[in-house]
Each structure stands twice: as structure tokens, then as C-alpha cells.
Structure 1
Amino acid sequence: MGDTKDFHEVPCTSERAVAKVLARRNGVVAKGAAVDCPLYTDFVLYVSESVPSAAASGDASVSRGYACMRNLEPPHPGDPGMGGGPYTVVGDCVYAAGEDQVKETACDGSGPHAPQYRVVSAVGARSGCPSSTRLYVQLTGRQGPVGCARRV
């Protein structure tokens, strides 16, 4: 990701609104720790503890934690095959990113890495994958622990 953006809370109907909060979780989150977001979250916004200035609307402090965000308009990187979001889901594509590691990429080839595999199903254990499976992918979210992937 590299670039840092400032986000400010506004009504979803505001012309300045770019995303909506799907869920908000409070507390300190360890770097690399799993998040608890709805499945098709586009991005996770980590929130630092702050106290609004007197000029800001609202009178309460904002606690640390994270917000699960969904863009108001496309693109939706959290959707299957789009190459982003906090979860790998059925329909997503991945590429080999090192020993025993894969990373998500856009299935249409528009991302920085070409897709090598597509996750075609989710099962409880590797033995539940079809015989055409060429790669087993650890999934997160509610779909099941193992993704069965075929070569693209």
C-alpha cells in the first residue's frame, strides 16, 4: 500500500464520502493479526486513538481499533476476483509470492502480478477438494479453512 490517506467521518450522503463503515472494532490490533470484518470488505482502516478538537463535530474521543470499509462506488477490491480486500475468497486469483506463500491479485491481469491460480471452492479439509485442485489456499472469513485452486 505505501500511500497513507487521511479519512474523516462524514455522512454517506455527503459529496466527500468515499466509503462506508461496515463494522467497527475497538482495541489494539497487533500488526499482521487477523481482522473480523464482513466477507466483502474492500479495505481495513486502522484507527488511532484521538480526541476531536473543539471545532470538530462530536464531543467524544475516538478509541483505537479498526473499521471494515466498503467503497461507495466501484472498484470493490474485496469482491471475488478483484485482487484485494482483507480476505481471500472463492473466485479470487493468487500468485506464488515465495516459499509456501501466495498473494491475491486481480483475475483479469490488471494487477502488478499475473494470476496463476483461481480459488474455485472452499472446503473444511484438503481431502474435500476436487481432483483438479493444483494448489491449496488457506482462506479466512466464513467460507471454510481451505480453498481449492486450479491453474489459470
Structure 2
Amino acid sequence: MVPYAEDDQEVFDVYGQPPGQQGQPPYGQPPQGPPPPVPPPMGAPVPPQPRKTPKVVLAVIGLAAVVFMGVVGVAIFQNVNGRVSGPLEADHCVDKSFAMDSGSRIPASERVDCDDPKAKAKVLKVTAKRTTAAFGMRSEPDCPEGTDGVTNVTITEGSTAHYEACVRNLEGPHPGDPGAGGALLSVGDCVSDGSFGFGKEKPCTGDDWYGKVIARVESEAACPAQTLETMKLRSFGGNVARPVLCLGPGGGVLANGDCITDPSFAVGGPKKAECDRPTAVAQVVGRVKSTAECPSEATHTMTAEGAFRPVMCLKKLRPTLSEKLRSLGG
């Protein structure tokens, strides 16, 4: 039992030592362990104590080293021989660009990092992934507006597997811009007369285009109200996405207020004429589905079976050659 201290007496534990001094040798025995440090002489500076690096700091440094090595490892993995591995996606880059005269061919390309000097175009949409080389003619892929071309992108060197992708040049010119005259047909582009074949894209800055595309849809029923004529795209390699081109006024497409030349012996339908010229024989006052829809000012009609708006309502300006010949009699 430990007694209580009275007045200035100290409390001793069972070892006979004052509290706070446990571990000291009993009286009369030399101290155990290393000698205590000798205090410096009075006025001398106290030597600095060595600092230990906290374990938390060491752990953070180690983690940073692991992360850094991981990033370097990924970079090395993705850029071996200048190629970038992994699935192709939108906003990735390729080493192929397209010019105005690239036509409808689908060239091969390689995926590269967008910061690589070899990067020429950016992927807008991946339309297909194929495991074997494709030969022959193919249908036009369904690309978004602004597409400058379509390319087969290889990922692994020596492999026939590739991605079919719609791309846009990183720098101009851009064949896919509306009216530019290149790449794939889309809204704002102009086409040639399809009377003797398929409509071909033409630059809208020229004077040899027939109609301007105001919509590209799946069927004629989906064309907007201002559509006057339609063209349908065809392909020898399969179905075409959104094959119907809806054409609005402009070019060779006749609209209200336009005048026509003598249609008596015209090939491919009536042609435009300056209304104040002697060659103009009638003025268009309506393009409708049936003759009953023609306005009262119409004096004649022309019908084209199977056309989007088959009836052309006309107001006569001058007699045609046929009328002149009939007036001769005999």
C-alpha cells in the first residue's frame, strides 16, 4: 500500500523511487545506457537537432513517383512508332486531309495524336468498323454536315482491320462547306441537272449548277414546304442514307416569276429565259400538285408525270413556235 504524502514529504512507489523517475538505478549503482548529453558552455549556440522526414511526406513522394511512371508508361504505350492505339472515336485525328478534287474515293489513313505535326484531319463520326479489307463500290456513309471526306483508318500496323470515319480537315480549304462543290452532298450544296444521269455536285459560285439542296431526307414526303423539285441519289454498292435531295428555287429550277423559253422542241423540260427577251414565251405563276390549284391568272399548264410538283401554271406572253406553225394551216 502506498502512503499519502504529508506536508513536504514525497510519495514513493514500490521501487522506492519518486514519481516521474522510474527507470533510474537504485541508489549507489551506476547509471545504465548511454551517458546524458553534455550541455554546451554558457553562451555557446545550441547545435541544431536532426529533423526526421515525416512518414506521410515519404508516402506522398512515393505515390507521386508511381503516378508519374504510370503516365509515362501510358504515353509510351500510345505513341509507339508515332501511332496511337485504342478504339477510334470522334475528335481523334488522322494523317489524311481532303482536297476539293478528292472525289468519292475512300483513302487509307492512320490515327495520330492531334498535337502531332502529321495530324491533318479530325474525326467527326465513326460509321463502321471492319475486320477485313473492303473492295469494290460501297454506298455513301451517313456523315454529318461539314464532312470533308471519308477515310479508312488503321490502328495496328500491318492489320486489315480498320474504322470507316467521316473527317474534316484541320485547316482549309474545306470541300464539305455548303456550296463549296466537294465532299458529300448536304444542305446548301448545288447539283447539276439530273435529266441525263445522276445529279453531280457543283460549286454554287459557278453558273452551271441546276438546283440548290435545301434538305436531304429519307423520302419526298419529308421535304420542306418550299421544295419545288427533288432528286434521288443512287448507289451501286448498297443503300444510300437519306437519298432524297429537296431542291428549292435558284439555278435552273423554275419558280414563281421565272420565264421560260419555247418548250415546243425543248429536250429535258422547259428552260429559263429573261422575261424581257423575245425568247420568253410564258411566265411561271405556280408549281402545284394538280391543275385545280393553279391561280386564276394562269392561261396554260404543263405537266410532268412523277415530278414532286407535277403541274406548272403558266401565263402566256408570246405564241410558241408550235402555235405559229398551226396558225399557218394546211
Deviation at 1:17? 1.4
Worse-matched range after superposition: 74-83 or 20-29: 20-29
State the alpha-carbon separation in 2 of the partners of residues 34 and 4 from structure 1: 10
Counterpart mapping for 1:67-78 below 5 A: 67-78=165-176
Deviation at 1:29? 7.8
One-letter amino acid of the structure 2 residue matched with residue 115 of structure 1: W
Matched, 1:66 2:164: yes
Contact 2:215-2:224 at 8 Å conserved across structures: no
Match of 1:41 in 2: 147
Counterpart mapping for 1:1-152 below 5 A: 1=102, 7-24=109-126, 25-27=128-130, 28=134, 31-47=137-153, 51-52=156-157, 61=159, 63-86=161-184, 88-96=185-193, 99-109=196-206, 114-121=208-215, 125=220, 128-130=224-226, 133=228, 135-138=229-232, 145-152=244-251
**Structure 2: gaps spanning 5 or more residues:** 1-101, 234-239, 252-330
State the secondary structure of the residue aligned to 1:8.
strand
Q: Quick one: structure 1 residues 20 and 150, their matched pair in 2 at CA, closer, same or farther if it must change by over 3 Å?
A: same
Any idea what the Cα deviations from partners look like across 1:53-93, whole Å, max 9, x if unmatched?
Answer: 6xxxxxxx46134111110011221121111222x222111
Contact 2:148-2:176 at 8 Å conserved across structures: yes
Higher helix share: 2
Scaled by the length of structure 1, what TM-score is found? 0.66
Any idea what the Cα deviations from partners look like across 1:7-33, whole Å, max 9, x if unmatched?
Answer: 332211222211012222212586231
State the alpha-carbon separation in 2 of the partners of residues 95 and 44 from structure 1: 22
Contact 1:105-1:114 at 8 Å conserved across structures: yes
State the alpha-carbon separation in 2 of the partners of residues 35 and 70 from structure 1: 14
One-letter amino acid of the structure 1 residue matched with residue 203 of structure 2: A
Higher strand share: 1
Scaled by the length of structure 2, what TM-score is found? 0.34
Q: CA RMSD in A?
A: 3.6
Larger RCO: 1 or 2 (CA < 8 Å, sep 6+): 1
Identity %: 32
State the secondary structure of the residue aligned to 1:151.
coil
State the alpha-carbon separation in 2 of the partners of residues 7 and 103 from structure 1: 26
